Chain A
Amino acid sequence: MNPKLECQLHMTRRHFFGRSSATLGTAVLANLFKDKLGAATATSGGDDSSAGLPGLPHFAPKAKRIIYLFQSGAPSQLDLFDYKPNLKDRRATELPASIRQGQRLTGMTATQTSFPVAPTIFDFKQHGQSGAWISELMPHLAKVADELCFIKTMNTTAINHDPAVTFFQTGFQLAGRPSIGAWLSYGLGTMNQDLPSFVVMVSSGSAREGQPLYDRLWGSGFLPTRYQGVKFRSVGDPVLYLSDPPGINKPARRRFLDDLAKLNNLSLEEFGDPEISTRISQYEMAYRMQTSVPDLTDLSAEPDSTFELYGSEARKPGTFAANCLLARRLAERGVRFIQLYHRGWDQHTELPKGIRRQAKDTDHGTGALIQDLKDRGMLEDTLVIWGGEFGRTVYSQGRLTEDDYGRDHHPRCFTVFMAGGGIKPGISYGETDDYCYNVAKDPVHVHDLHATMMHLLGVDHTKLTFKYQGRHFRLTDVHGEVVEKVLA
């Protein structure tokens, strides 16, 4: 920031103290303008939301922040992580009824007359000390295999995209509940003064069209809207309405805000409404964001080594790799919950072609991010999560040929992986059956994953509640158990 402007700003603040102390008391104003200003402030009063709820965290957290790389459309666990070599011999045989168990199917394959087993056509190899099986599709990820904790037995309640993604992000299939990040912002407050505590980025890949996403996935539901995720965009303003209109330069905006503060201060004297003080501070926060956000998204100061690590794709705004790099920069600046969305994993048909493309889009950035965090010593207190809303069927949807097949939605078992932030590295948790169709051992439900995430942040998921419509709601509804065995 321009030192002269900074000086002006401080003068303006002093000016407020002098002016208003007569009516409101110096302590109040001192609090209002102390340096740790909240990202946002409460409805009818000027609380300091950086503090979060009293009593939180409930215990010492292992992770300070989460980077959640959400793979929308549901990646095939069979072709990426859950290696089933014995399926090769059963290629094109009918999925046994003893495995199928008459469980529900989507309307897309429910009427299919045959369910031929489609083994993956991709090679798997073991990697690292831990010997994790990873498909040839994920070479960069394979390099950090020893940091990863695979959960092979994720399962969910929903079988279609919209309810399943909504379920993963809000703990409920239908719209209306707060998202994970909103819960965390509400409970834990913010750790920085210049950026929101919950940031979302949607990357664009080479898939022609992905499943749609919705604002509700990072919405605040019934929590106050200030807890909603702020979407950082790769086109236009990184944050909506961030740029001053053409013709208004920085000094003009500074002057504008000074005048605005003077005028609002007159109203404060007249009406005594503390909401006015809050408003003044929110304009100052907005002004700081105008500097801090462009500074954050400007990658020009990153050394070449960064792009060697993340790949040249990371130079293209909006790619998954670029967003992974931004995620690291956000993490460095104290943003608590960073969520990336990448679409295009919905391969009902032509899966081999589609998944190659998806893996190419996401593998490099994911591997680089984990390595980068580790190199910077941040991985130990940053929880990284990678996964989609459900898995895919072992049987082929539509035609099965030598080199082509499709897979339908499969909520009964699929793989996500986590790294860092108090997670046991280099392990695989849970087992699926020979067909990767049912959980054989140690199921992990979405609610359990949520409970575990919160646990790592020092939150007892049963105790972070919000009363709405007469009920104490929580992210995990009335379910969820911390998966103790994946904790370091």
Chain B
Amino acid sequence: MPTQPHHLNLCAFFSTALIALLGTGPASAAPKDETGPPVQFNRDIRPILSDKCYTCHGPDKSKRLSNLRLDNEEGAKADLGGRFAVVPGKLETSQLIQRITTDNEAIRMPPIHSGKKLSGEQIDLFKRWIAEGARWQKHWSFITPKRPELPEVSDPSWPRNPIDSFVLARLDREDLSASAEAGRATLIRRVTIDLTGLPPTPGEIDAFLADSSPNAYEKIVDRLLKSPRYGERMAVRWLDAARYADTNGYQTDAERYMWRWRDWVIEAFNDNVPFDQFTVEQIAGDMLPNATLEQKIASGFNRNHRGNGEGGIIDAEYAVEYVVDRVETTSTVWLGLTMGCTRCHDHKYDPLTQKEFYKIFAYFNNVPEKGKAFKYGNSPPFIKAPTREQQRELQKLDKNLALAEKSFKGRQAGIDRAQKDWEKALSDSDRVDWLLHDGLIAHYPLDGTLSGVTPGASRDVRARLRDGLPDFSDGRLGQAAGFDGKRFIQAGDVADFRFYENYTLSAWIYPTSPNGTIIARSKAVPTEVKGYGLFLKDSKLQLNMVTRWLDDSSRVETRQPIELNQWHHVLATYDGSLLTDGSKIYVDGTAAKLTFVVDELNQPFGVKAPLRIGAGDGDQPRFEGLIDEVRIYDRALRPAEVSVVATAESLSEIAKTASADRTQAQFDKLRLAFLDQYSPEEIHEAWEKLLGLRNKRAQLVESFPTVMVMQERENRRDTHLLLRGAYDAPGEKVTPGVPAVLPAIPEGVPNDRLGFARWLVDPGNPLTARVTVNRFWQMLFGVGLVKTVEDFGSQGEWPVHMDLLNWLATEFVGNGWDIKGIIKTVVMSATYRQSSRADAELHDRDPENRLLARGPRFRLPAEVLRDQALAISGLLVEKAGGPSVKPYQPTGLWTELAGGKEYPQDHGDKLYRRSLYTFWKRAVPPPAMLNFDSAGREACTVRETRTNTPLQALNLMNDVTFVESSRMMAERMMNEGGSTPAERVAYGYRLATAREPGERRTEILLDSFHHHLDNFESDRKAALALVTQGEHPRSQELNIAELASYTTVASLILNLDETITKE
């Protein structure tokens, strides 16, 4: 460490700041031996080479100077025309030494213009390394870890498990000693917060304090690992890594629905799914043989990236960005590699090439997706993903439905008989007809009147004729309305469909001109006509939905023209999927072959203009000919229903036809009509019951949440290397593959995304296990064993405890990737259980506690701070999973940025759910989370950071979340804490810190209480104002001045350093 002694003497804190600012290079590694063991290439030399030399003498051949490469042994020791950079054992002939030590600035390395410099210490290391034989090593993290031997330690009684042996051996070398075990109260708070993200209750603390059994602590750990809160706690950091959020992240930043994936993660942690399975299912769950719903949901991991639905974007550009995001995220999370660097060029520091980037890219480049995401909601591919509860409900319903279907089938003979009798009577009667009315919202018979009717509605849909006088004549069914290219029907404010709703438009038409509007709800705006409608265009039928023509609209067109001057039944359906594929057009009861003209529907197409028959708005041509029987349904009719609707013959006409001569549609129409309206009561009831169940099932399925998932295209998409990483500069074609520096894909594993997933967790993979246990370590100790948790390459940090890291990695793999197992091992160690108290000297020497001579002590993560306050106050509502919730947030935040919708704050229980369920809008994340260093969730984040700012102080003192928590905590102090103020403040302190306050703290707290009480008693209005903050009702029994004073004390306690810190 480049220490500056005079500086350190002056101010211990400066050195820490310096480290924080310099980042994570070798210079900031923890103290190491200066003279002892021989120089190790990986530990001592490679980091310097990487940082100071590789920009010009590294793996990137395009930037390499003087043909000298120092990132591999061959290069460093190569004969460059009789000159050698490195000659083992020979300082005088090693050009490297000469060039770094020369006084001649013109040739000294690194060059002055690079801004880089070697310290004297670094130059000495080079000299020693060459003198000792210049031994080369493959970069440490690319070598599969071997289980290290346990070292000898000075005090064999201290280690509780191997972790401690490694730690103590290092402390012995540093001439430091371990700290004593933390007090029990501190310990239970530490481990409870670490494993569940919530503090222990006073009851739990008391039980632990009173438990004298030797395994008292282990019992606590086991209990916590079984708690469902464990999965919630573990999930948060994983959601950061997976860039999980509730909005799409670009421009409008509208809502998406990935919470089913989030809940899968929580459940997987709670079920202790082994990490290898956890990995495979998230990378390629969709490709597993007979993939289950849960496995498909898991694959949503790589759909959490942002999706751009901005108008006018270039599809191909974002199609590339999404895949790049997957490569970067996956390689950061599992491999600890900064693959992102190789998007545009070979890696400057690590043996990774640009081509290898695109080889991994190829694994993820085969998703049937578009670069233009949907602006609102999930973008394909997505699936319906019922929750576990909904799955159970569906199962139950299906069972009932099967029974009902069976019982209805049992009545078949009886139904046939009854229907036959009815048909007989029918064939003798005058015209009798029937209408499919399920979902019918407007029906215009056009039999001499313009108005529409809706089944069950008390009032007609009022319609008026415009630009002419009504003209009725014989129609397909009764009369029809005539259109002359001018007159049209203004058919009322109906059928105002949202772009994610289902609908059906149906009519009989007799066109005399090839162009005309049949039914439309549209409005001309300056550049186009917005809205939707069914049109005749060059005798072909079109269904159009337009927000902005071309880049935000959908159009399908029938391939075959229809004959003019004759009657046709035309019907169009839309399934609310935003996909052109979700539009269908039927001609005379049969689905027509369609051309998908534009498939870019992305925004609401609703307009205020009324529905029109025979015309649209603006330049949309008006209809010429006859229109009859216009019907509009608020659902997409099924094909069998369409053919029934398109059957013009009345029931009585069909009944008169011999059954052998009836078409299927005619047969269906009779049967449906009979069951619906003309059957005997008993049959009708059975039918209604069956229909009821079917509808209930359909509604249930409709209510299922969706989740975006990974899928494979049928025809593999080619992948090209992209020059400079640009989407529009394809280079050579590449095939999927893994970087050469790492082990190959195992034998017998297919070389696809699933194979890649299995390769990630192959025991031979040198990175995955290390990277993963290192993140767990970071979660528990604040800093990883490798501080650069996201970078295990040569620019990453040399692990402070290499053997410990390797031991943990091999232990993790050896125990079948048992996550709870490895976490238990860590929290059971004596290292973890140490007290975090330390003197100034130790803080000075090891500010970040890398040597582990004390227990972890650092500020709680953002979500734990809020959850803890809710828990302490008793406000916390524990409910697992479900859609995200919107607790308090200062008003106006969404409006002032997004310019649209204001944050629709929830009420009641939803205000008090755990923070991982808080709605995460990427453009405007929850401010209290960001204030406390939460990841922004725009891109993968694995490093935990902690700052200490005045905004945090304001947040904890004044945010209604914490003020309300204070007053509810005050109620607890008054109701549960005892009868005297001293007991009550002590109780509050203990709720928050698990500790007893002791005499001095109690004195300050009491003094504070009495001071505020004096004031609030004389200003009860102020007291009332304070104790009514937040929406939770206040206890009416408590004295307001007292409650306000305890609220202030509670707030004081919630702001204490020891409350917001894990000690």
Instruction: Return the contact of A40 from the options B550, B950, B959, B960 (Cβ within 8 A).
Output: B950
Which residues of A are found within 8 Å of B308, using beta-carbon distances? 160, 162
Residues of A214-240 whose CB lies within 8 A of B: 214-216, 219, 224-226, 228, 230, 233, 235-237, 239-240
Contact residues in A for B924 (Cβ distance below 8 Å): 214-215
Q: Which residues of A contact B848 (CB under 8 A)?
A: 44
* Distance in angstroms between the alpha carbons of A25 and B859 in the assembled complex: 24
Q: Please determine whether A406 and B20 come into contact, CB atoms closer than 8 angstroms.
A: no
Shortest CB-to-CB span from B887 to chain A, Å, is 15
Q: Which B-chain residue is minimally distant from A52 (CB atoms)?
A: B21
Which A residues lie within 8 Å of B948 (CB)? 40-43, 226, 275, 278-279, 282
Chain A residue with Cβ nearest B308: A162
Mark the stretch among A8-16, A90-98, A255-263, A361-369 that contacts chain B: A255-263
Contact call A283/B526, Cβ cutoff below 8 A: no
**A260 contacts B314, CB within 8 Å?**
no
Question: CB within 8 A of A28: which of B11, B251, B938?
Answer: B11
Residues of A within 8 A of B12 (CB): 28, 45, 274
Q: Do the beta carbons of A42 and B930 come within 8 Å of each other? A: no
Cα A268 to Cα B1057 in complex, Å, equals 9
- Interchain nearest-CB distance for A273 vs B (Å): 6
On whether the beta carbons of A248 and B954 are closer than 8 Å, the reply is no
B831 at the interface (CB under 8 A from A): no
B20 adjacent to A42 (CB under 8 Å): yes
List residues of A (47-75) whose CB comes within 8 Å of B's CBs.
Answer: 47-49, 53
Note all chain B residues with C-beta closer than 8 A to A210.
899
- Per-residue CB contact flags for chain B residues 102-122 toward chain A (1 = under 8 Å, else 0) read 000000000000010000000
In the complex, A350 has a CB within 8 A of chain B: yes
* Chain B 529-554 interface mask (CB, 8 Å, partner A; 1/0): 00000000000000000001011000
What distance in Å separates the Cβ of B572 from its nearest Cβ neighbour in chain A? Answer: 24
Flag if A241 contacts B1025 (CB, 8 Å).
no
Chain B: how many interface residues by the 8 Å CB criterion?
A: 128
B413, CB-defined interface residue at 8 Å: no
Cβ-defined contact, B1008 with A41, below 8 A: no
Chain B residue numbers with a CB within 8 Å of A430 are none
**Which residues of chain B (1032-1056) have a CB below 8 Å from chain A?**
1044, 1048, 1051-1052, 1055-1056
Judged by a CB distance under 8 angstroms, whether A289 is at the interface is: yes
Smallest CB–CB gap between A226 and chain B, Å? 4
Q: Considering only CB atoms, which chain A residue lies closest to B551 in the complex?
A: A107
Say yes or no: A215-B930 contact (C-beta < 8 A), given A282-B949, A409-B312: yes
A17 at interface by CB-CB < 8 Å: no
Q: Contacting chain A: which of B514-522, B704-712, B833-841? A: B833-841
B1015 contacts the other chain (Cβ, under 8 Å)?
yes
Q: Report how far A239 CA is from B957 CA in the complex, Å.
A: 14
Considering the chains assembled together, what is the distance between the CA atoms of A41 and B21 in angstroms? 11
Complex interface: chain B residues within 8 A of A230 (CB): 951
Which residues from 263 to 286 on chain A have a C-beta closer than 8 Å to any C-beta of chain B? 263-264, 266-268, 270-279, 282-283, 285-286
Interface: A104 (CB within 8 A): yes
Contact with A along B886-899 (1 / 0, CB 8 A): 00001110001111
Closest-by-CB residue of B relative to A275 is B948
A43-B20, A278-B948, A471-B341 given as contacts; is B1001 within 8 A of A209 (CB)? no
Contact A271:B838 (CB < 8 A) given known A263-B1052, A286-B957: yes
Give the residues in chain A near B839, CB-CB below 8 Å: 272
Q: Is B788 close to A, CB under 8 A? A: yes
Q: Report the minimal beta-carbon distance from B838 to chain A, rounded to whole angstroms.
A: 5
Tell me the smallest distance from the CB of B504 to a CB of chain A, in Å.
Answer: 30
Return the contact of A282 from the options B20, B249, B891, B953 (Cβ within 8 A): B953
Q: Report the bound CA distance from A289 to B332 in whole Å.
A: 39
| Contact partner, A23, options B17, B528, B840, Cβ 8 Å | B840
Q: Which chain A residues lie closer than 8 Å to B17 at the CB level?
A: 42, 45-49
What residue of chain B has the Cβ atom nearest to residue A285's Cβ?
Answer: B950
Whether A279 pairs with B1057 at a CB distance below 8 angstroms is yes
- Is A398 on the interface with B (CB-CB < 8 A)? yes
Question: Does B1024 have its Cβ within 8 Å of any Cβ on chain A?
Answer: yes
**Inter-subunit contact B896/A249 (CB<8 Å):** no
Give the residue among B16, B1007, B1024 with the most A Cβ atoms within 10 A: B16
Across the interface, A233 reaches (CB within 8 A) one of B251, B313, B892, namely: B892
Are B250 and A209 interface neighbours, CB within 8 A? no
Question: How many angstroms from the CA of A267 to the CA of B550 in the assembled complex?
Answer: 65
Contact B958 A245, beta carbon cutoff 8 Å: yes
Q: Is A418 an interface residue (CB 8 A)?
A: no
Q: A104-B314, A225-B933, A248-B1048 are known contacts. Are A399 and B890 too (CB-CB below 8 A)?
A: no
Q: Among the listed B314, B791, B927, B945, which residue makes an inter-chain contact with A240, where contact means beta carbons less than 8 Å apart?
A: B927
In the complex with contacts A263-B1056, A397-B527, A43-B945 CB distance below 8 A: yes
CB distance from B1058 to the nearest CB of A (A): 5
Give the complex CA separation of A107 and B1022 in angstroms.
Answer: 58
Q: Which residue on chain A has the smallest CB distance to residue B309?
A: A162
Chain B residue with Cβ nearest A404: B526
Bound Cα distance A53, B955 (Å): 28
Q: What per-residue 1/0 map shows which CB atoms of B222-254 lie under 8 Å from chain A?
A: 000000000000000000000000000111110
Complex CA distance for A236 and B960, rounded to whole angstroms: 13
Please indicate the chain A residues that have their CB under 8 angstroms from the CB of B1000 in the complex: 266
Cβ contact within 8 Å between B791 and A470 = yes
Chain A residue at smallest Cβ distance from B20: A42
Which of A114-122, A444-452, A461-469 lies at the interface?
A461-469
CA of A211 to CA of B310, assembled, Å: 10
Q: Is the Cβ of A256 less than 8 Å from the Cβ of B796?
A: no
Query: Is B899 a contact of A343 with CB atoms below 8 Å?
Result: yes
* Distance of A487 from chain B, by nearest CB (Å): 22
A396 to B923, CA, bound (A): 31
- Is residue B922 contacting chain A, with contact meaning CB distance below 8 A? yes
Q: Please name the residue on chain B nearest to A270 by beta carbon.
A: B837
- Say whether A224 contacts B951, CB under 8 Å: no
Q: Is A297 engaged at the interface, CB distance under 8 Å to the other chain?
A: no
Kindly list chain B residues whose C-beta atoms are within 8 Å of the C-beta of A290.
954
- B1011 close to chain A: CB less than 8 A: yes
**Contact present for B896 and A216 (CB under 8 Å):** no
> Does A204 touch B at the CB level, under 8 Å?
yes
Chain A residue contacts of B249, Cβ below 8 A: 175
Chain A residues whose C-beta falls within 8 Å of the C-beta of B794 in the assembled complex: 470
* Contact A247:B953 (CB < 8 A) given known A219-B936, A259-B1004, A274-B16: no
Contacts of A289 in B (CB 8 A): 950, 954
Q: How far is the CB of A42 from chain B (nearest CB, A)?
A: 4
B845 CB to closest chain A CB, in angstroms? 12
Given contacts A212-B251, A213-B923, A270-B837, contact A245 B1029 (CB under 8 A): yes
Report B-chain residues with C-beta under 8 Å of the C-beta of A214. Answer: 253, 897, 922-924
Q: How far, in angstroms, from A408 to B951 measured CA to CA in the complex?
A: 41
Q: Nearest Cβ in chain B — how far from A296, in angstroms? A: 15
On chain B, the residues within 8 Å of A268 by CB distance are 1057
Question: Are A213's CB and B16's CB within 8 A?
Answer: no
Ordered by A's residue number, 8 sampled pairs between the chains whose C-beta atoms are within 8 Å are A31-B13, A43-B947, A44-B20, A106-B551, A241-B958, A267-B1058, A398-B528, A471-B348
| Chain B residues close to A by CB (< 8 Å) | 10-18, 20-25, 115, 249-253, 306, 308, 310-315, 321, 332, 338, 340-341, 348-350, 372, 525-528, 548, 550-551, 600, 728, 788, 790-791, 793-796, 836-840, 842-843, 847-848, 857-859, 890-892, 896-900, 922-925, 927, 930-931, 933, 936, 938-939, 945-955, 957-960, 963, 1000-1001, 1004-1005, 1007-1008, 1011-1012, 1015-1016, 1022-1027, 1029, 1044, 1048, 1051-1052, 1055-1058, 1061, 1063
Known pairs A241-B954, A408-B312 / 8 extra A-B pairs, C-beta < 8 Å: A106-B313, A214-B922, A215-B930, A225-B933, A271-B837, A274-B847, A469-B338, A469-B795
Contact surface of A with B, Cβ cutoff 8 Å: 23-25, 27-28, 31-32, 39-49, 53, 104, 106-109, 111, 159-162, 174-176, 202, 204, 209-216, 219, 224-226, 228, 230, 233, 235-237, 239-249, 251-253, 255-256, 259-260, 262-264, 266-268, 270-279, 282-283, 285-286, 289-290, 343, 348-350, 397-399, 404, 406, 408-409, 462-463, 466-471
